[in-house]
Structures are given as structure tokens and as C-alpha cells.
Structure 1
Amino acid sequence: MAAPFDFDLLQELTETSGVPGYEDRIREVVRRELEPEVDELQTDGMGNVVGTLNGNSDYSVVVAAHMDEIGFMVRHVTDDGFVQLDALGGWDPRVLKAQRVTIHTDDEDITGLIGSVPPHTLDEAERESTPDVSDLHVDTGLDGQTANERISRGDLVTLNQTTERVGDNVTGKALDDRSCLFTIIEAARRIEDPDVTIHFAATVQEEVGIRGARALGVDLDPDLALALDVTVANDVPGFEAADHVTELGEGTAIKLKDSSVIANPKIHQRLQSVADEAEIDFQLEVLPAGGTDTAGFQRAGGAVPAGAISIPTRYLHTVTESAHVDDIAATIDLLTAFLESETGGHDYTL
């Protein structure tokens, strides 16, 4: 089955590097894709990108997805040529051993390997221990002098992974949150003459504390905010049904809550009504832990009605994040239908 959307663009977005605070490469892709679809395109002092589609009223809606992916910064290069890392974002070190990485220097990209010694050389305590990111080392295959000449403290490191189709799923790195960047770009392509002004925002530094969204909430001062992010899909062996949160292939997810936000009830109710009317499959998201840009916009410059749409995703914060193609398509459809039907006349006060 062919993907029901521009898979090549999704692949480019997910494979492009961009860690918190250094979103340069992905920012250029976003600017390239948004510019022909909007009336104005701006980048601010933090690196947030905002593409504005002017509506027929002063009422404004911001729709946001974050550009940054979790990654690392080089903190030390040893005399033997091994690279030690500092985390940018929330990593589970258990999934990092034996992974291939790319070290992004000023002059070049260097491939490295996160080392993992053979298990039969470890004692029982070492086999059962959980490493910290600070315990990991990157093997560049270079001697110490060469490594120190080519790699510097502060260079950036991302996981090296391609994006592929696996059955009905898309899998790779950085679906969090490039699949949602893709969603807002696709919505911007479809919407031509909105009743309200729409700010399509690609935010920075979400993975280290929703910093870009907080700044934009003040600068844009929207009347309504809608964030897009991935959410947990624990619909795999080893989890009870109540712990799935969402399930792949069951539709886009309308957020009710996470640990950072309780979505405005009138917004999630209207999202459900729009989905029902357009016959878009959806599920309700009750996420026990984790936060998104939704919280940043909800209270950045005062009380703003805020909601969120999520793409169900397995294996979050790994290089094999996986989402169902139909859920991605449903997310695009719901976002587009919601924005096209937003008149500025809906009362979201409680």
C-alpha cells in the first residue's frame, strides 16, 4: 500500500538533523516548504519559524509542532580518540548501546559507533547494570590526535538512521516530532482562504522544556492554540490494554491530558465533532506522563484556550519510532478540517 501522503517529504524531515538549540538544518527544510504556502514567513531570535496565512478577521490561531530531536553534545574527546557525550533531551541509555551516530562538526559529518563490549566479557553485575549517558563512548575509528583535530567540545551528535516503510507503518528516528511538522506543512498546502489568521509554527527546544513555545505564546499572543506532537502507543506485547494510551491504526489522537496540561474541554469536544462530521478515525489520549508545546501556549502570555492532536507512535525516543500511515493521514485530515471550520466565533471560555 502506497503512503496516502508525500512520503518523500516525511522521509526528508525525519532524516534531517536538528537537536535542541541547533535546529538549523531542519529549519531550512521547514522554511523551504512553508514559504510558498503562506503570506508571511518569519524566524525569531530563538529560531522558531512562523508561517502566517492571513484570514478574514483579526482572530488568530497558532498551530505548533517542534523541530528539535533528542540528541547529544560532545563534552570530551579522549587522548585515545573516543568521544564522550552530554544528552540533549530525554534518552534511555539502554537503547543506545551499539548504535551508529553522526557527529556534526563545523566542517564535516563524522560517523561513529556507541560502543558495547561483548556480554561474555562482563560479570553479572555489569550485565544487569543500567548505564548513564555519561558512561557511553563513541568510537570514531580515528586515532587520538586525528579525532581531537577534527572533533571539538560542543559539536553535535545525532543517531544515524533512515526512515522506512515496515508494513503499514513508517519507522525511523525523529518521528517525534517531524511527523507533526509534516502534518502542519500538509495542512498549510491544503488551506487557501481561512476565516481566521493561522500561524503555522515550527518551534525549537521542546525536548528540553518547551522553551520555544513559551516564547511564541507571548510574541504571537494567539486567541487559540493547537499543538501537535506524537504520543505513546504501548500496544505491544507486555502491556495491559489500559496502559496502551493509544493504538496504531485506530486513528489520530485527541488529547485530553498529559502531565503538563489538561486540554480545554471545549476544544477537544469540537475536535471530536469535526472528526465525526468528516468521518475521520480518532481516539482519545489520556497520557499519564510527558508534556508538549500545548502547555507552553496555554499559559505563556495569560490564559489561552489550548488543545492538542497527537500521532500514536510506538517506541518513542528510540531510532525505531513507528507510526501507522493511516493515523498520520487522519491527523492531517483532522487538523485541516478543524482549521477550515474555525470562524473565530466558537466560545472556548469555560
Structure 2
Amino acid sequence: MELLHRLCQIHAPSGNEVLMKEFLLHYVQENQASWKVKPQLVHGKGFQDCLMLVFGQPRTVIFAHMDSIGFMVRYGKQLIRIGGPVAEAGYKLVGEDSQGKIECTVVENEETGALSYDFDREIERGTELVFKCDYRETEETVQSCYLDNRLGVWNALQVAETLENGIIAFGCWEETGGGSVGYLAKYIHETYGVTQALISDITWVTEGVQAGQGVAISLRDSLIPRRSFVQKIIKIAQEANIPHQVEVESAGGSDGKELHYGPIPWDWCFIGAPEDHVHSPNELVHKKDIQAMVDLYKVLMQKL
């Protein structure tokens, strides 16, 4: 899983996904010759830092967000969250400004909870800082910062190797509330007539969704996708004997929100491996769930 390790180290907090887009573009160009179908690459003017891969005659699109949570330097030594990272005193952050590379430490005010950093100089305001990657792999698990959503991106790239008909859309800004899926969805619908979407993202380990028990298929988070579409997905997973768990939550969200609130009649479903220690430097996912995620996406892209 060296590719996943590399993905987890790329600096791409919400709003600055360009390095991830460039990495993916290079990766596709280097590897597509060995894929079953060579995709059309859609990017550039009108798509900001997004990237789409179009295979054959698509019926379904996989959305995978490229961005991560992180922090932005305010004034003095203040830190502001990008998205919802867990912040504990002592966490290591990395980044770069015009004066050079940065590796600093999170400091939290015990009384106010305000965040700042400890570094040997003042970091330029607006600089983005992300968790320092400490990638750990065992026979059963993978642990690192940013498995959400580098694992979702990795999953899409595994599917791309054998995909004959479909679209993979790598989007931006998901961790801060969306911003790109709306116009990607409009382009996809108007150009290819596609109205089915799978959200390749990572969910939570909870009392009802356990690590090592299979990929999670979400019946709801803060939103409720169309039941008949989700039931079709569950039936396909059952017939293929792919380990899966049905998720029912009252909160949370994903790129599915922009599809749900838009004017196009999208059917969408969040399908992802569950992780523990969410939005921390120590996100943990079981390899059985990763395998089940890849297996289910490959089957769904054939059968939906």
C-alpha cells in the first residue's frame, strides 16, 4: 500500500488541493496504459483544481474528495481550524511559507481552548499547516493522518484499473462544506446524462459499525438518500457476498450533500470503510474493510 502512504503525505488542505490534483494527474498518465480502459481526462479551465476520469459509456460516477482538514495561521501565533480537526497539545504540524519549511507543535490554552503553535519564528499569516504524517501498517490495520479521504481516493484508483464504463470525479473543499461537486455534477449530468453517484469517503467506527466487519453502506447521516437506490446497492453486496454493514446515523455529511440539495435528480449513496480516531493524526482502518470497499465499488460500477 505504498501508494496510500504517498497520498497521506501530500499537502492538500481544503482550498489548496493543487498538489494532490497534480499528483493524481501524473499518476494516471503514468499508469493508464496498463488499465483495462484508458480514460478521458477532464480538468483545467472551468474545473479549478478538480480532476475527472471518464471511462467508456458512463452510467455511474464515483466522487472522492482530495482535500484534508488542517489549520491556518492567523495573526501572531494563533491557529484556526480548517474543517474539524482534533487538536491536542503536542501534535506535530508541518507546512511551508516564504521563509522555508515548517515543523511546529500545537499549543492549547487550557482556560480558553484557543490554539496556537510553538516554533522558533513567527509563521506568515495565511500559511496552512497539516498533521505530520506518521504512517503505520500492520498485518490487519493501517494508521495515519488523512486516511479521510486519501483512502477514498486510493479506492477510486484501484477501481480505475479495471473500470470499463464510469466516471471518477476528484473534488475539492469537502471538509469545509463543499464547493466543487455542484458544478462537477452539473457538467456530468449535462454531458453524459449520469444521475447515479457513489461517495468514496471514510466513515466512523460506532457502536453499530465495527472495524473489521465490512464496508459501511449508509442509509442516512444528516441526510437521507433515496431508499430504493440504497436497497439496490445492499442487494448487490449481498449477492456478491461482500462483507458490509448498514450504517444509520443522525449527523455527518459528505459530497452527497451537494448532490442532494441540487436541482438534478441524483441517486447517491455513501459507501466507505469505517475508521477510528477520526480527524486526528492517528486515523485507524482495518484492512478487511478496505478490501471490502474496493470489491464492492468494482461490482457496483459493473452492475448499477
TM-score (norm: length of structure 1): 0.78
In structure 1, how many angstroms separate the alpha carbons of the residues matched to 2:94 and 2:184? 31
In structure 2, how many angstroms separate the alpha carbons of the residues matched to 1:325 and 1:101? 27
Q: Give the match for residue 126 of structure 2.
A: 154
In structure 2, how many angstroms separate the alpha carbons of the residues matched to 1:34 and 1:273? 32
Q: Give the match for residue 241 of structure 1.
A: none
What do the CA deviations read for 1:94-131 (whole angstroms, capped 9, x no partner)? xx2111111222564211111369xxxxxxxx4xx561
Deviation for aligned residue 1:207 = 0.6
In structure 2, how many angstroms separate the alpha carbons of the residues matched to 1:156 and 1:271? 39
Secondary structure class of the residue paired with 2:42: strand
Q: Give the match for residue 73 of structure 1.
A: 72
Deviation for aligned residue 1:298 = 3.0
1:138 aligns with 2:83: no
Give the alignment partner of residue 167 of structure 2, picking from 180, 190, 199: 199
Are the aligned partners of 2:148 and 2:279 in contact in 1 as well (CA < 8 Å)?
Answer: yes
Q: What RMSD over aligned residues (CA atoms) do the two structures have, in Å?
A: 1.9
Q: Give the match for residue 332 of structure 1.
A: 294
Secondary structure class of the residue paired with 2:293: helix
Deviation for aligned residue 1:154 = 1.3
What do the CA deviations read for 1:18-57 (whole angstroms, capped 9, x no partner)? 10010122222222233425421122443111111122xx
Same amino acid, percent of matched pairs: 25
Give the residue type in structure 2 aligned to 1:232: W
1:183 aligns with 2:162: no
Distance 1:300 1:104, change over 3 A: farther
In structure 2, how many angstroms separate the alpha carbons of the residues matched to 1:186 and 1:91? 27
In structure 1, how many angstroms separate the alpha carbons of the residues matched to 2:142 and 2:112? 29
Give the alignment partner of residue 14 of structure 1, picking from 8, 14, 17: 8
In structure 2, how many angstroms separate the alpha carbons of the residues matched to 1:181 and 1:110? 26
Deviation for aligned residue 1:167 = 5.2
Once the two structures are overlaid, the 10-residue window that deviates more, 104-113 or 282-291, is 104-113
Deviation for aligned residue 1:155 = 1.3
Secondary structure class of the residue paired with 1:170: strand
Are the aligned partners of 1:232 and 1:245 in contact in 2 as well (CA < 8 Å)?
Answer: no
Are the aligned partners of 2:8 and 2:133 in contact in 1 as well (CA < 8 Å)?
Answer: no
Give the residue type in structure 1 aligned to 2:28: L
Distance 1:28 1:339, change over 3 A: same
Once the two structures are overlaid, the 10-residue window that deviates more, 157-166 or 177-186, is 157-166
What do the CA deviations read for 1:299-320 (whole angstroms, capped 9, x no partner)? 4242211112121111111111
Deviation for aligned residue 1:216 = 1.4
Are the aligned partners of 1:230 and 1:313 in contact in 2 as well (CA < 8 Å)?
Answer: yes
Q: Give the match for residue 94 of structure 2.
A: 102
Superposition map of 1:303-314 within 5 A: 303-314=265-276
Q: Give the match for residue 122 of structure 1.
A: none
Give the residue type in structure 2 aligned to 1:210: G
In structure 1, how many angstroms separate the alpha carbons of the residues matched to 2:291 and 2:49? 28
Give the alignment partner of residue 231 of structure 1, picking from 199, 203, 219: 203
Deviation for aligned residue 1:166 = 4.1
Q: Give the match for residue 252 of structure 1.
A: 215
Are the aligned partners of 1:14 and 1:174 in contact in 2 as well (CA < 8 Å)?
Answer: yes
1:320 aligns with 2:274: no
Are the aligned partners of 2:195 and 2:265 in contact in 1 as well (CA < 8 Å)?
Answer: no
TM-score (norm: length of structure 2): 0.90
Q: Give the match for residue 300 of structure 1.
A: 262
Q: Give the match for residue 239 of structure 1.
A: none
Are the aligned partners of 1:23 and 1:47 in contact in 2 as well (CA < 8 Å)?
Answer: yes
Are the aligned partners of 1:313 and 1:323 in contact in 2 as well (CA < 8 Å)?
Answer: yes
Q: Give the match for residue 48 of structure 1.
A: 50
Once the two structures are overlaid, the 10-residue window that deviates more, 268-277 or 8-17, is 268-277
Give the residue type in structure 2 aligned to 1:137: S
Distance 1:225 1:185, change over 3 A: same
What do the CA deviations read for 1:222-280 (whole angstroms, capped 9, x no partner)? 3211112111103xxxxxxxxx2410000001110000x21222222222222122211
Deviation for aligned residue 1:325 = 0.5
Give the residue type in structure 1 aligned to 2:101: D
Distance 1:224 1:106, change over 3 A: farther
| Higher alpha-carbon Rg | 1
Q: Give the match for residue 283 of structure 1.
A: 245
